[in-house]
Amino acid sequence: MTKLGVNIDHVATVRQARQTNEPDPVWAAAMAQLGGADCITVHLREDRRHIQDRDVHVLKQTVSCKLNLECAVIPEMLDIACQIRPNQVCLVPERREEVTTEGGLDVVGNEHKVKQAIEQLRTAGIRISLFIDPRADQINAAAQLGAHAIEIHTGCYANACGENQDKELSKIALAAEHGTKAELEVHAGHGLTYDNVRPVAMVPGVSELNIGHSIVSRSIFVGLENAVREMKRLVSAHR
Ligand code: PXP
């Protein structure tokens, strides 16, 4: 059964819009877990545009399912991750001017940096996932450098329509097969919604999906617990 990781960054986005203390992503994590979340995901960005250091510290103490921290491959973030020790760190590319994460991490082009990051995180006892595009060279590099998991970037699939979307789904399926053969856990995420999630959830080998914007958007109307429950039903329906 495919698991659901709920990204609660955008709860913090609303809070930061007023630089106040509500809504609290820590409350969001509790509601998401009541709705059936298997994992809580947050991205601590270098510019702290949404999630703050305090959030990650309190989530580490309060989340009872898996806690997945997304961060850039930079010394500051790796040190924070090793101090907080979430269950998993997902290494992502990060550019200050982007609205959201664009494209996967170039593991091939940053082999040395990623290798050092993996070693540091492994020593701290943290599982490592690499957010990558569905490409064989990136998957091979992830396996070779000792990552535990890959998260396949589904943004191109989410943005495509018709035949192009089918082609993008095939790339995800091939990548999932490749990753499984390389003994990597295969996750997927980015741009997934209530409308487009089912085909990805049904790809053999994909064990976990990370979804944020669509769930938090729906939660405005139906509440977060209901929004998560609805997505969990779609994600975990049998293949
Ligand atoms: N996975 C990763 C690595 C991400 O960076 C994001 C966005 O923060 C997501 C999944 C979730 O994307 P979305 O908010 O579009 O569901």
Letter string b/e over residues 137-148, b meaning 16 or more CB atoms within 10 A of that residue's CB: ebbebbbebebb
Known active-site residue 10: no
What is the whole-number distance in angstroms between the Cα of residue 47 and the centre of ligand 1? 17
Q: Can you tell me which atom of ligand 1 is nearest the CA of 211?
A: 16
Element (H, E) at 90: strand 88-91
Residue of 10, 153, 190, 208 marked catalytic = 190
Residue 102's pLDDT is 75
Q: Is 48 left (phi over 0), alpha (psi -120 to 50) or beta?
A: left
Quick one: which of 83, 92, 94 has its CA closest to 126? 83
Q: Is the entire prediction scored with pTM above 0.95? A: yes
Q: How far is the CA of 189 from the centre of ligand 1 (A)?
A: 6
CATH number of 3-235: 3.20.20.70
- Give me ligand 1 centre to Cα 10, in Å: 10
Tell the residue nearest (CA) to atom 5 of ligand 1.
Answer: 101
> Ligand 1 — pocket residues by CB below 6 A?
7, 9, 43, 70, 90, 92, 100-101, 131, 151, 189-192, 210-214
pLDDT the model gives residue 95: 78
DSSP state of 217: H
The domain limits of the chain are: 3-235
Q: Which of 166, 136, 172 is nearest to 153 (CA)?
A: 172
Q: Over pLDDT 90: what percentage of the chain?
A: 94
Task: Please tell me the predicted confidence (pLDDT) of residue 238.
Answer: 67
Strands 127-132 and 88-91: parallel
DSSP 144-177: HTT-SEEEEE-HHHHH--HHHHHHHHHHHHHHHH
Beta bridge partners of 4: 209
Does the active-site annotation cover 43?
Answer: yes
Q: Which ligand 1 atom lies nearest to the CA of residue 190?
A: 12
Of residues 10, 50, 70, 178, which has the active-site annotation?
A: 70
Kindly report, residue by residue over 128-169, the tens digit of the pLDDT: 999 999 999 999 999 999 999 999 999 999 999 999 999 999
Partners of 3 in the β-ladder: 208
pLDDT tens digits, one per residue of 91-104: 999 876 777 777 89
State yes or no: pLDDT of 10 exceeds 80: yes
Count of all residues that appear for the chain in the document: 239
For residue 213, indicate whether it is catalytic. Answer: no
In this prediction, residue 174 has a pLDDT band, given cuts at 50, 70 and 90, of very high
